[in-house]
Amino acid sequence: MKILITGIAGFIGSHVAEHLQSLGHDVVGIDNFSDYYSVELKNKNAAVLKSKGIEILEADLRDVAVIGKLPKDVAYIFHFAAQPGIAATSTFEDYLTNNVIGTQNLLSYALKLTTLQLFVNIGTSSIYGLNATFAETVTPKPASHYGVTKLAAEQLVLCNSRLNKLKSCSLRLYSVYGSRERPDKLFTKLLDCGLNNKTFPLFEGSLLHLRSFTHVSDIVKGITSVIGKEAVCNSEIFNIGTEAEYTTQEGVDAVEKLLNTTIKFKQLPPRSGDQQRTKANIDKARKLLNYNPTVTLEEGVAEQLEWFRKL
């Protein structure tokens, strides 16, 4: 079965690509290799995938001309490509064009496919807003341009299902970490600071934030569990994460214990749009997708450390 993955050179997309290819699927991908974070890291991810025979098209979904270059016999689309995070360096136009316009262009392509079984949109807990502890039926209250535009992308996808134009679902991911995590994310940055005697930039109040830190291997299991369940998933939203809840301080403690060191901090003003609490309510995913995350924080951080040392 041919599967298209957008944002395939990224953190989670590359892991999903590897997993699906190991199951015998014909995986192809597209990525614009944005310089939002290290292009070198994305190139390393892409090299691993290419070495396994996975084809990658370097192109931008915001360019409508790209659509004609995508394969015409795709059975599944996993849509990861997006402008991530809440960085001050990202403009509203960055979020709008990448997350909304890019998604609409991809949908234009998907609607022409006669082979498509399911369009899987990759959403985020940021859609819920400052507190993401709810079931999928709760009205979203995003508090960042990232959350707002990811919600818009999600609704663009699902409205096509409501109109019976295609089958789709959206997966809202929670605080993913593990090997290949972006350099600007918590655990990669903590490991870098702990191993290389650097100072960690700490936003005021963030040590008390609560998170559903979910290892990427558990996320991959949740994402790929939708395959073969088109009738169950169509038009649905699923939270994918762990029910375990940790403070950011506990995340710091886990890294310090593993490295047997104390990390230095430089306090910064609070960051607008930062979520105060995420706790994945996965009752729906557990029931309909048989989703059951198992990796502990200690196990996950140890896996990420092994990757970081090799990197």
Supply the residues annotated as catalytic: 146
CA distance 103 to 21: 24
Task: State the Rg of the chain over Cα.
Answer: 19
Grouping H, G, I as helix, E, B as strand and the rest as coil, residue 145 is helix
- The H or E element containing residue 248 is helix 248-259
- Nearest residue to 14 (alpha-carbon basis) of 47, 59, 61: 47
177 Cβ partners below 8 Å, 6+ apart? 185, 186, 187, 213, 214, 215, 216, 300, 301, 304
Torsion of CA 164, 165, 167, 170, to 10 degrees: -100
CB 46 within 8 A of CB 70: no
- Distances in Å between the Cα of 242 and the Cα atoms of 102, 246, 294 are 29, 10, 8
Taking the C-alpha atoms of residue 286 and residue 282, their distance in angstroms, rounded to an integer, is: 6
Element (H, E) at 27: strand 26-31
- The per-type count for the chain, helices as H runs and strands as E runs, is 11, 15
Exposed, middle or buried by CB within 10 Å (0-12, 13-18, 19+), for 207?
middle
Residue type for 292, please? N
Query: DSSP character for 269?
Result: P
